[in-house]
Structure 1
Amino acid sequence: MNFSQKAKEHIDSCRFCWMCHHVCPVGNATGLERNTARARALGLSLVARGAVEYSEDIINNVYECTLCGGCMTDCVTGWDPVMFAKEARLGAALDGKLPEYVLKMINNLTEKGSIYGAEKNPNIPVFEDKDTLFFLGEDTRAKGCAKAAVELLQKAGVKFALLENEPNSGASMNFLVGAANETKSMMEECTKILSSYKTVICYDPYDADVILREYKEWGIDVKAEVKTFTSYVAELIENGALKIKNNGKSYTPQDSPYLARDLEETQPIRKILSACGTVNEMLLNREHTVLAGQLIMGEYMNDVIEKIASNRWSNAKNMNTKTLVTASTAEYEYLSRTKPEGMELLKIEEVVLQCL
């Protein structure tokens, strides 16, 4: 396993530090020291120095990270555990040491077009439009539902395309193996489709993050204007395409880490909720948000991801939340599974539809 010099520097620095110990959603869910950035860096530092083999246990530990970036947000010295975790995943792929559960997902993606092995979702309609594409993403097509989002765009008079054979953004491959040639090829194929439209609306925050941020790092240029679903809906309300009646209800936004941290987008969801009612903030919000669900890791660490979502509900209850609102398919799925009695969970489009 060969690490870049940059990764080695970050690994060596992180292995001495507890600064982000308290913010890792996986570490807080398992209570295990191994699920902290410091412990991961300790293991990888031994590999980098040739003291131990890149073993199955160390590789599994690398895949116990959600890549949510909470550790980076709390690090005042600027070290990046997400970067070296992704580089370690690529190393496992190049060394032919990927875990079986990862190989299974990659094979599903190659053979069936989705890491989940899902067949086509019959509940997703097909629309054609030359200018605007509504991009649902792999998680939504395999595990979620965008019926309310489609209805909302139609009520706003938006003409858009929904593709039967939507390209994969490369987000799942980016998560599983990082900067591999296969990941880049998938991104480039997706770009060809996206660039045939003037505007692309990304429904899922993780796809939006990858397309708007990661593609640039790969030197991949999408000719279309790409917008997050939340920012687009906020624009529709602002320009009067969606006429909202404020119902005075209290809503608590669950910020997606991919929107709030990676894309620095925190205001659109609050503009939407302020138009519909009032905003009651979550404990740890905006860029300091805590991940509340991860579908890819749910394929091999389901109990841990459910505990992460349950912990987030505890945060919500401590802030007297009545209605929690998310824009993420993955977070909605896991928050739904763990929702306490007496509390309400809504997607952002469901809130707006209630206020038309």
Structure 2
Amino acid sequence: MDTEQTQALQAAVRPERGLLLIVDDDEINCAILENLFAPYYDTDTAENGRAGLERVLERQDDLCAILLDVMMPEMDGIQVLRCLKEYGLLEKIPVFLITAEASGEVMKEAYALGVMDVIGKPIIPYMVLRRVQSVVELFQARERLSNVVELQQADLLAQAKQIIELNKGMIEALAAAIEFRSEESGDHVRRIHDITTYLLTHTPLGDGLSPIEIKQIALGSIMHDVGKIAVPDAILNKPGKLTPEEFEVMKSHTVQGARLLEQIPQLRENGAYPYAWDIARHHHERWDGRGYPDGLKGDEISLAAQIVSLADVYDALSCKRVYKDAFPREKVLEMIRSGDCGSFNPRLLECFFQVEGELAKLYQHPCKED
């Protein structure tokens, strides 16, 4: 925990003096109570129930307790209690009735509303002081504990976020290392991540998915080509057309990628793992069943794998590769629309073309050989 967090924690547990509000139309009673509590709390007074309620609403964040008379002009103590109950303040601020009218009905309704205690007049100073202080200390301790818990939760969330970012960084580094083997750059996997995220957050494709699920799918997309680590350099970086035998080796990167992910125990504990495994194995499946390695067809292919498949094709066409130059944007869209690069889910294509104008901004600067 750093210095700033430590100071915040110390502030959270430090006892506060607090403001005690006395609501009583009897000036003598107010003076007695002020004199009694002044050494321990800041004090304020209100001469009737209505004025007291206004003061509570103005200073509610500063109040540590309210001493409330019952019989008062404008608005009596029970009416004030009802209003405080309606505003939800009785759970936050302890209220004490101090009254000579401590009848059974008054006490019953007061306790039902949520008053902490009913103290009869004439008051006995040391008893009133002790009863009020005990409850105030309890409320303050509860508030301090709540603040400490909130700070600790914030600290834990910050640590969890760091771990998530570290995991993401490690995954990106591994994926980028594989891209470099094929003379590509880490920009490719970042664009696949960003395209996947955008399609899931700005089109109906993401309907029904939580923000966490979308993040996990996008993180899984980074690992789509991890199996290329098992493909020989001579095939991976061949500038010309692959032979049928070489193409079979290249196609194996899907199965090899899923197999590699299975062998990383730490990754299997990550929520992104099921998506990463599925995407690595199935991002070359096609809607018409003519893809590989499993020949899946239609909705047999997961939405995550379908999206990454389209993102991968879009990126490959838009950028220079070892075996080809980048195509102009119009040509890229024509090839995807006509099915020159394989068939895709019509609904996926519809959503893609709706937002492609935004996705194209990722390619405003010419792609290098990524």
Considering the TM-score relative to the shorter chain, is it more than 0.5? no
Shorter-chain TM-score range:
under 0.3
TM-score by length of 1: 0.23
Larger radius of gyration: 2
TM-score by length of 2: 0.23
- Give the helix-richer structure, 1 or 2: 2
- The structure showing larger relative contact order (alpha-carbon pairs under 8 Å, at least 6 residues apart) is 1
